[in-house]
Structure 1
């Protein structure tokens, strides 16, 4: 039966098959040899333990950052350089996690296993892939810091008895103590989190369990409004198993594809249950970094209209990865006499039954809004500005949930999912995109017959790398593609448009496409521009681009230290919030404890954070 650990429920290794035993023996032998070589600084023997094309990804355990290595020499050099300070040891097969098993990853037959280890500062887990044909060599090695010694999360068997509230605030009633705690009267939050969506709440929950005081500010009246206020038909386009939040998985009876109102209400429940300190109706106005005090001078406007000055040591931007909605200055658009809005303002299409609508843009929001309008009886034309990656929900599941469809415990699937360096991501997404093409061949042919322009990214990696590179340019089909194919939604190409006119759009052939409503699905400003507005040019220029691909293949300025001390960013989907909130919270705690060498971190940052 499963065993319960401090971090939750893990699957016990009860498989005693001959193959599992052999696999486990290979893994134990490799780990023992690795540890001996590492402790002895034996460069030659360490080199024999990895294949020529090896990959090591470290998540805080050795480097206090998210640090990929994709060459044998880089792996060996880094391990030997870091080990004297890190003092990693006790590398063991973790008997309480998924047993070692034979898998095929990226066309390579492998023995995949989860191991545990310790460092001077903490305890961790890692992922190991040995070559099945040569199990004395590894080709994937991942090390992840799980906890800092002496600062373990008080969960499971280590849960508090409740008296901590009385000690902290001098009272005995939980509700009264929570009301007092959330005001921050006479004290400052150590961390200020901008945004109360899934990312901000995940970071706040994790920081609280590490004993770090955090305040979340959100301009909306209620927690969850970031989802609640979006268009009514919105639902997640990937399955629920990928999207659980840290500590509190969604109820087992919830649908596979979560509608936005269920998400909104869950976030409100999560905030209460995880005791997150949230100020709703509060706008973050800006901040200056005070170098001599290593803290921010941050200004917020609270729900009552008053301004308050806060002095946090860290600011975490958890407000998504984009800023204000953008409506480009299309020729003649100002002359349009009907209703013009961005998808950000769109609620539902019920008011447009029997009316004519034009939606500009063929990304996810454009398709969703066009489908919603059509379902309410509007006559809809969709304007394609550039080629788009389109995949069915079924095909996209190959990428989104590949490790989450293997019946792995969530924490094991997360470890597997974070193990890939950039070259492995590219190879994996290319293989998946090819498979998606085969699955979706009929749908793609139908779209192309209608003139819809399809692409699979600059290197045939499909929608996942478009997401990482530009956070757009793709659509996971929830039914709109069929409507386009069946001509229930019209399709126009932007290069055929002459200009906008009061009645709608005039095409280059002189015809006019009339519209009562134009919806612009044209994206949002870059997060760097949000930073520029709120923190100033110096800091915006100092950190550079946010999101996109950094020089080392990781997401630029996301989930790890930036060039600006005390400034962090988290964004993406629910899985990103669940996984990477852990590393942000641990790293902030490590900073507070003085465990991080700031000069080394600065040098490492300069070598990894440029965006491609």
Structure 2
């Protein structure tokens, strides 16, 4: 039992020592004394080979008994190379937080324990994270493990570095082990991780130039979260970069990143589809290359890295086909200068809809914004940045671990508290929007914008000025429910009024990723995979960064921080499968080899 102490390092060390002893002896009685009844354990591959969250002491003890004997975790100790144990407030709860390290039979890991006193003033675990960091014998080729070579044994007549790079990226006589579809932050992150684990990986992207998936977005776009949150794996942005990164700057960094990290990347290459051979445990896929030829490959793994936003959603709007102006989806929008002096209708009030409306207004267009459903609005500063507060201090490695450590129930509670704070900060703006007829919401159970993203991929706006224009009446606001249908000149309202327009922009989002899976792999594969994104019963993002119902098919998506974190977990699983440490099939996360 742990008495409460002001020496938080001693308290953390004592808890970890007793935890290790209880696991080694399979002592459920001792284990039960270490956890609050309302406690949470998130295991990221370390013991269960799955990404899972378990709530409640009884459930945690059951899962530990199931996985710990085979995993053999030992060496639990506060990590002296990470942030020291400290007193923190997480989700409104005061706790002792300590980062620790440990080992299993196949790997090394890190974790976070948060201790709070019970009614008897005894410190017990409130939250516990165990995360696999590396596989023994298959460590990343970085730092002291970097490739060395021998300056005195060069073959002056043999291939040099450039020759070898060209051969590696050309795939003239071999196929990659992993094919990554999509060259945005998702694809680059997982390819970089796999490169350091010595897993042969090829990225294919249909755009002409690396970074075009950002470069081709609308003219004024910048990232909505700050630079310190958004680094790609292994390479931090330079310290002189702006707080909010412009799209073209990020796109150019993607090009530099591919070169610096030696990633194999084929541009202007369309993935046309694939089928899986259960017996051979490999895919047969077809690529249409830049010169129009096709290439058949047989990778063992396919990673769909096309992001949460896949196929544009174009709703069937009554009469829109009769509109004689220009209609485009927000993904096609480029620059408002082409519409100076014109009249524009923007349908949709997420980030894209607001930003496009503001861009058109700034270019001299007369803009009407149509709201289809209630929308969460939060000022870009400081409100939208509150959720990233930990990233304002400490190391990126520690902050990523803190982000990983938050179980769903605690994270929801934390975001609800943050949302209340942001509502107070934005009170004047929100009241002005309500007066203008804008329909507001604050997410399910008041959980704010980030949970809207994690559950539905949108439904919110970071105000960088468009909301102020709506409040002032400089951008007109209409409710889409009041539209009877479109006519040749524009939108005919149920009141009889016609909102005339030269341009209609459909900022109506994207279809679910399941539709892309059906398109590329067929109905049967889509049914085996099931729902993608959003939270399921396991309290984790469904089919993200983990094995799916379709062996060899993986998914990665999200913002830069999500991809940086999730790519590590995904890469370790692929490497473990390649080395025979893990089954290809999902389900239970059991190891096949612990020696």
**Structure 2 SS opposite 1:412:** helix
CA offset digits 1:279-298 (Å, max 9, x no partner):
11100000000000010001
**Structure 1 SS opposite 2:168:** helix
**Structure 2 SS opposite 1:266:** helix
Equivalent residue in structure 1 for 2:40, among 55, 59, 62: 55
CA offset digits 1:548-589 (Å, max 9, x no partner):
211112111111110110110000100011101001100000
- Counterpart position of 2:481: 495
- Counterpart position of 1:534: 520
- Counterpart position of 2:273: 286
Contact 1:26 1:135 in 2 (8 A): no
Deviation at residue 597 of structure 1 after TM alignment? 4.5
- Counterpart position of 1:609: none
- Counterpart position of 2:90: 105
Q: Distance in 1 between matches of 2:5 and 2:30?
A: 26
CA offset digits 1:498-548 (Å, max 9, x no partner):
110111111111111110111110111111010001100000011111112
CA offset digits 1:357-380 (Å, max 9, x no partner):
110000010000000000111110
- Is the alpha carbon distance of 1:112 and 1:377 closer, same or farther for their aligned partners in structure 2, counting shifts above 3 Å? same
**Structure 1 SS opposite 2:256:** helix
Instruction: Report the count of equivalent residues.
Output: 584
**Structure 2 SS opposite 1:300:** strand
**Structure 1 SS opposite 2:290:** coil
- Counterpart position of 2:331: 344
Q: Distance in 2 between matches of 1:20 and 1:268?
A: 52
Equivalent residue in structure 2 for 1:309, among 268, 293, 296: 296
Contact 1:171 1:177 in 2 (8 A): no
CA offset digits 1:150-198 (Å, max 9, x no partner):
111121122111459x999994421121111101121110000000111
Alignment of 1:406-425 (within 5 A): 407-425=393-411
- Counterpart position of 2:376: 389
Contact 1:356 1:516 in 2 (8 A): yes
Contact 2:378 2:462 in 1 (8 A): yes
- Counterpart position of 2:12: 27
- Counterpart position of 2:213: 226
Q: Distance in 1 between matches of 2:169 and 2:91?
A: 48
Contact 2:92 2:417 in 1 (8 A): no
Contact 1:169 1:177 in 2 (8 A): no
**Structure 2 SS opposite 1:488:** coil
Contact 1:238 1:400 in 2 (8 A): no
TM-score, length basis structure 2: 0.95
Equivalent residue in structure 1 for 2:53, among 45, 68, 82: 68
Contact 1:398 1:432 in 2 (8 A): no
Equivalent residue in structure 2 for 1:567, among 553, 561, 580: 553
CA offset digits 1:58-85 (Å, max 9, x no partner):
1111111211111211111111111121
Q: Distance in 2 between matches of 1:533 and 1:344?
A: 19
**Structure 1 SS opposite 2:440:** coil
- Counterpart position of 2:171: 184
Q: Distance in 1 between matches of 2:170 and 2:368?
A: 50
Equivalent residue in structure 1 for 2:143, among 156, 160, 176: 156
Moved more, 394-403 or 24-33: 394-403
Contact 1:190 1:214 in 2 (8 A): yes
RMSD between aligned residues: 1.9
- Is the alpha carbon distance of 1:604 and 1:550 closer, same or farther for their aligned partners in structure 2, counting shifts above 3 Å? farther
Alignment of 1:54-203 (within 5 A): 54-131=39-116, 134=121, 136-162=123-149, 171-203=158-190
1:404 partnered with 2:391: yes
Structure 1 unaligned blocks of 5 or more: 1-18, 606-612
Deviation at residue 402 of structure 1 after TM alignment? 2.1
- Counterpart position of 2:511: 525
- Counterpart position of 2:224: 237
**Structure 1 SS opposite 2:66:** helix
Contact 1:244 1:250 in 2 (8 A): yes
Q: Distance in 1 between matches of 2:388 and 2:544?
A: 22
Q: Distance in 2 between matches of 1:511 and 1:569?
A: 47
Q: Distance in 2 between matches of 1:413 and 1:478?
A: 27
Deviation at residue 328 of structure 1 after TM alignment? 1.1
Equivalent residue in structure 2 for 1:458, among 434, 444, 459: 444
Q: Distance in 2 between matches of 1:173 and 1:511?
A: 71
Deviation at residue 598 of structure 1 after TM alignment? 5.4
- Is the alpha carbon distance of 1:401 and 1:588 closer, same or farther for their aligned partners in structure 2, counting shifts above 3 Å? same
Contact 1:114 1:125 in 2 (8 A): yes
Structure 2 unaligned blocks of 5 or more: 591-595
- Is the alpha carbon distance of 1:169 and 1:123 closer, same or farther for their aligned partners in structure 2, counting shifts above 3 Å? farther
Q: Distance in 2 between matches of 1:483 and 1:540?
A: 43
**Structure 1 SS opposite 2:47:** coil
Deviation at residue 397 of structure 1 after TM alignment? 3.8
CA offset digits 1:392-439 (Å, max 9, x no partner):
11244454312212x110010000011122211221111111111111
- Counterpart position of 1:11: none
Q: Distance in 2 between matches of 1:590 and 1:169?
A: 37
CA offset digits 1:326-379 (Å, max 9, x no partner):
221111100101111111000010011111111000001000000000011111
- Counterpart position of 2:593: none
Deviation at residue 602 of structure 1 after TM alignment? 2.1
**Structure 2 SS opposite 1:402:** helix
Alignment of 1:267-286 (within 5 A): 267-286=254-273
Contact 2:92 2:414 in 1 (8 A): no
1:474 partnered with 2:438: no
- Is the alpha carbon distance of 1:135 and 1:171 closer, same or farther for their aligned partners in structure 2, counting shifts above 3 Å? farther
**Structure 2 SS opposite 1:292:** coil
Q: Distance in 1 between matches of 2:65 and 2:125?
A: 17
Q: Distance in 2 between matches of 1:448 and 1:171?
A: 71
TM-score, length basis structure 1: 0.93
1:444 partnered with 2:430: yes
**Structure 2 SS opposite 1:322:** coil
